[in-house]
Amino acid sequence: MRTLPELSRDLALGKTTSEKLVLACLENIADPLGEGARAFIKVYADTALVAARGSDAARAKGQIASAIAGIPISIKDLFDVRGDVTRAGSRLLADSPPATADAPVIARLRKAGAILLGRTNMTEFAYGAHGMNAHYGTPLNPWDRGTRRIPGGSTSGGAVSVTDGMAAATIGSDTGGSVRVPSALCGITGFKPTQARVPLAGAFPLSFTRDSIGPLGHSVTCCAWLDAVMASTNVETPEARPLKGMRLGVPKTVLLDGLAPQVAEAFDRALASLSMAGAIIEEFDFPELQREIDGSKRANFSAVEAYALHRGRLATHLDEFDPRVAKRLLLGANMSAADYVDLLHLRQSLIASANVATAGYTALLAPTVPIVAPAIADMESSEEFFLRINGLLLRNCAPFNVLDRPCWSLPCHRHGDAPVGLMVIGETMADRSLQVIGLAIETALKTTR
């Protein structure tokens, strides 16, 4: 699969055109043997071609909006697009009024010249890390497709649109791992920024405390370019920096518990490669992670805030929800206001103490997800199995939304093996620094793949 820098270079050299790129993506979306019908909720075929031809005409005149001009991308079905209905992966919103304006991130992508291909499928209302959708179907994980495995969520269709050549990259959201989980399970790269870096306006919310918006693509630079556009900063390739001398901390608390053999093997191999490249790998205790898990047992930000948002719909249209989503949303009704206030105070305490605990490290490392993608049939076999797996998918990622840390998920498995992600965690608002670190780690990981 081609990266954004490769596509941008080919466009600049006249080796391809935006129209050709869009047509190739649309052909893959329309392939009756492919995943297009499940990966996309709506395809902007006509408007994408018009925009691509306009981009080619502008390029011929020397008018190039940015490095991503003319490149086709997909967007998660929770972003407002002027004149279109934002469904957030649900049938409940299908009759809602069309958006009157683009979400800021959409407006910025358009201004930069990106071509919007369509809206991608997702877990209903983004409430679940599995990527299954009872209304629009579940796009299949590209690995071991015959087994029909989950893609991870909630940015499920977006991840599959990238792996299957239906888009060069995609834009998703991450509240407890919804960018990183599908990136890890599908074998691509995802970036969750510090929450304040990218505006949330015009994105259908899940948890106003933990929501963030980030890209998924084929490389660190792909994601860094899209992140820069959405954050309204200069589009630049992260500078090359050697790993030698970087102190990389590996939290022993929670994140390494019960790893699937494939995950443990890939993670150990990745650490060995980083060490050989000169990084200093240190395990350390990080009790804040256990404190966060314990504190979220009585009240959970996503549960409380999502229930508050959906309680009216739950009271009047319960049977129209995906039953798996509805049941989890209703758990928020039983959480007390006092416990929620305690959780708010705990969060501030955890952020302060975690900042001290990790100050000596260049970045932190952990497996993005402790398991590999299970089969959809297994997820549907019992409610107990479904809930346990959904919790495992979120376990390593969600604490860093509470701590408001930027994170990468970088593929660290060998080609042909089950996809495994390496999570690289930075300091709050140090997103650009983490992108430089991510590029260095990506380069070292290529020796293990």
- Catalytic one of 8, 18, 66, 154: 154
Which CATH topology does 250-448 take?
Amidase signature (AS) enzymes (3.90.1300)
Is there a catalytic annotation at residue 183? Answer: no
Strands of the 189-192 sheet, one edge to the other = 40-43, 115-120, 72-76, 169-173, 213-217, 189-192, 407-411, 421-425, 363-367, 247-251, 280-284
| pTM for the whole structure | 0.98
Taking alpha carbons only, the member of 4, 36, 257 closest to residue 109 is 4
Among 18, 90, 173, 178, the active-site one is: 178
Per-residue pLDDT of the chain (449 residues; tens, 9 = 90+): 799 999 999 999 999 999 999 999 999 999 999 999 999 999 999 999 999 999 999 999 999 999 999 999 999 999 999 999 999 999 999 999 999 999 999 999 999 999 999 999 999 999 999 999 999 999 999 999 999 999 999 999 999 999 999 999 999 999 999 999 999 999 999 999 999 999 999 999 999 999 999 999 999 999 999 999 999 999 999 998 999 999 999 999 999 999 999 999 999 999 999 999 999 999 999 999 999 999 999 999 999 999 999 999 999 999 999 999 999 999 999 999 999 999 999 999 999 999 999 999 999 999 999 999 999 999 999 999 999 999 999 999 999 999 999 999 999 999 999 999 999 999 999 999 999 999 999 999 987 77
Which residues lie below 8 Å from residue 137, measured CB to CB, with a gap of 6+? 37, 38, 121
- The active-site residue out of 18, 76, 161, 273 is 76
Domain ranges of the chain: 4-230, 250-448
Bridge pairing between strands 169-173 and 72-76: parallel
Candidates 28, 12, 9; CA nearest to 117 is: 28
The CATH code of the domain at 4-230 is 3.90.1300.10
Active site residue 178: yes
Q: What is the dihedral of CA 25, 26, 27, 29, to 10 degrees?
A: 90
Tokens of 29: 């979306």
The confidence score (pLDDT) of residue 329 equals 97
Q: What is the pLDDT of residue 129?
A: 98
**336 part of the active site:** no
